[in-house]
Amino acid sequence: MLPESLKEQAAAASIEAFDADALVTGKFDRGELTLEIAPEKVVRVCRFLKDERKFVRLSTITGVDRYPEEPRFEVVYHLHCLDGNERLRVKCRLPGANPEIDSVTSVWRGAGWYERETFDLFGVRFRSHPDLRRIMMPDDWEGNPLRKDYNITGSRI
């Protein structure tokens, strides 16, 4: 559901018109628009944003761990429209147990490494990613360092 305050935001209103179920909530804060999308609709919405709203650039993808809250993980996409000089933050919330979301590499190829990084450091799996491997940590590393419950004191032996 689109909050009343966002009715004037063209990007938000167009997603609402495109697929009313996709938009969970949104906010406009400090001049930045954030839209929360249902995780199962992320590829569909991203494809729409790129083709119809001209968000040709994917600036970055990352995660936020809200441990111990549930749903625990946020996957955050920062999009950029060059023509309208407009930026948009798209967010999906995922559960703590077995977090999985569809990969958007079919929309922007540049998503490949960002999704690998999020997989590596948060342990979020991206379905149908062409090459989902660790990118920062060694291949045999255990755990995901950017999770809030990752032990940062003491040494691993």
- Give 154: exposed, middle or buried? Use CB within 10 Å, 0-12, 13-18, 19+: exposed
Give the residue with the Cβ less far from another protein, 13 or 146: 146
Give the residue with the Cβ less far from another protein, 40 or 69: 69
Helices (H), ranges, the chain: 10-18, 42-51, 111-122
3-class secondary structure, 39 = helix
How many other C-beta atoms lie within 10 A of the C-beta of residue 80?
16
Give the residue with the Cβ less far from another protein, 19 or 56: 56
Instruction: By CB under 8 A, name the binding residues for another protein.
Output: 29-30, 32, 34, 56-60, 62, 64-65, 76, 78, 82, 85, 87, 89, 108-110, 112-114, 121, 134-138, 145-146, 150, 152
Closest separation between CB of residue 95 and another protein, Å?
19
